[in-house]
Amino acid sequence: MLHIIKSSPYATHALSHCLAYATTDSVIVLINDAVLGALAESPLDAALFTDNRSVYVLEEDVMARGVQAHLHPQVKQIDMQGLVQLTEDHVTQMTW
């Protein structure tokens, strides 16, 4: 399942709610202010980054917030085309 998170984990509980429902092999994409959840040593990094889960951030949102150098080493950056491809690859999706 594809989960797309839009809001900062410091402003809402969308990411923590997502993690409560997502399986360990879910695909999670952080966009807009949610990219702050992918920072190294964030409060949710242990729950977010598992061995089987793929976590992506939209690179234009990362660059807009100037946090490129602080991302968790397991996060993958994608562009808008990559996001579209993920939505095409996953029939089941949830936006938080």
pTM for the model stands at 0.94
In angstroms, the CA 93 to CA 79 distance is: 18
- Quick one: pLDDT at residue 45? 85
**For residue 95, what pLDDT is reported?**
97
DSSP state string for 8-58: -TTT-SHHHHHHHHS-TT-EEEE-GGGGGGGBTT-TTHHHH--SS-EEEEE
**81, 59 Cβ separation under 8 angstroms:** no
pLDDT of residue 42: 85
Give the pLDDT means over successive 10-residue stretches in the chain (96 positions): 96 95 92 96 87 94 97 97 97 96
Quote the DSSP letter at residue 7.
S
Q: What is the pLDDT of residue 63?
A: 98
